[in-house]
Chain A
Amino acid sequence: MRALTWHGKQDVRVEEVPRPEVVNPTDAVIEVTATAICGSDLHLYHGRVPSMREGDVLGHEPMGRVVEVGEDVETLEEGDRVVVPFTISCGACWFCEHDLYSLCDNSNPNAELARETMGHSPAGLFGYSHMLGGYAGGQAEYLRVPYADVGPVKIESDLTDEQVLFLSDIFPTGHMAAENADIDENDTVAVWGCGPVGQFAIQSADLLGADRVVAIDRVPERLEMAREHGDAVTIDYEDEDVYDRLMDLTGGRGPDSCIDAVGTDAHGTGVVATSDRVKQRLLLEDDRPTVLREAIRCCRKGGTLSVPGVYVGRADNFPVGPLMNKGITVKTGQTHVQRYLGPLLDQIESGNIDPSFVVTHDEPLERGPELYETFNDKEDDCIKVVLRP
Chain B
Amino acid sequence: MATLEPQNEAERHRDGTSSETGRLPGTLIRGGQLVVGTALVDYGRRQRSSRGTAATVGGGALIFSALGGMSRVKRALTDRTDSERATEPERRETAVRRSITVDGTPESLYEQWRDPETFAEIMGHFAEVTPVDEGRFRWTVHGPYGRDIGWETSVVVDEPGEICRWETPTDAVLPNEGAVRFEEAPGDRGTVVTLSVAFEPPGGTLGSAALEQFDIVPKKLVGVALDRFKSLVESGEVPTLDRNPSGRGSGDTV
**A: which residues have CB within 8 A of B?**
1, 3, 5, 7, 13, 15, 17-21, 23-26, 50, 53-57, 72, 90-94, 105-109, 111-113, 115-117, 124, 133-136, 140, 144, 146-147, 270-271, 274-275, 278, 282-284, 286, 313
Q: Which of A7, A24, A105, A282 contacts B240 (CB 8 A)?
A: A24
Within 8 A of A (CB), among B162-204: 189-190
Give Cα A106–Cα B230 distance, bound, in whole angstroms: 7
Q: List 8 A-B contacts (CB under 8 A).
A: A18-B245, A56-B247, A72-B236, A94-B103, A111-B227, A117-B83, A135-B241, A283-B80
A368 to chain B, nearest CB (A): 14
Tell me, rounded to whole Å, the shortest Cβ–Cβ distance linking B155 to chain A: 26
Chain A, Cβ-Cβ closest to B78: A283
**B231 lies within 8 A of A271 (CB):** no
Q: Is the CB of B38 within 8 A of A283?
A: no
Interface residues of B in 81-112 (CB under 8 A from A): 81-83, 86, 101, 103
- Please report the C-alpha to C-alpha distance between residue A18 and residue B35 in the assembled complex, in whole angstroms: 50
Determine the chain B residues whose CB is within 8 A of the CB of A24 once the complex forms: 237-240
Most chain A Cβ neighbours within 10 Å, of B83, B101, B235: B235
Most buried by A among B35, B39, B189, B245: B245
In the complex, chain B residues whose CB is within 8 Å of the CB of A275: 34-35, 38, 42
Q: Which residues of A are found within 8 Å of B45, using beta-carbon distances?
A: 274
A124 and B239 contacting across the interface, CB-CB below 8 Å: yes
- The distance in angstroms between the C-alpha atoms of A23 and B82, with both chains bound, is 30
Closest 6 CB pairs of A and B: A55-B247, A90-B235, A18-B250, A275-B38, A106-B231, A274-B42
- Asked if B5 is at the interface (CB within 8 A of a chain A CB), the reply is no
Contact B81 A50 (CB under 8 A): yes
What's the nearest-Cβ distance from chain B to residue A94, in Å? 7
B76 in contact (CB, < 8 A): yes
Q: Is the CB of B223 within 8 A of A115?
A: yes
A286 to B249: give the CA distance in the assembly, Å.
Answer: 30
Q: Is there contact, CB below 8 Å, between B42 and A271?
A: yes
CB-defined interface of B39-71 with A at 8 Å, one 1/0 digit per residue? 101100100000000000000000100010000
A284 to B80, CA, bound (A): 9
Out of A111, A117, A133, A147, which one reaches B82, CB within 8 Å? A117
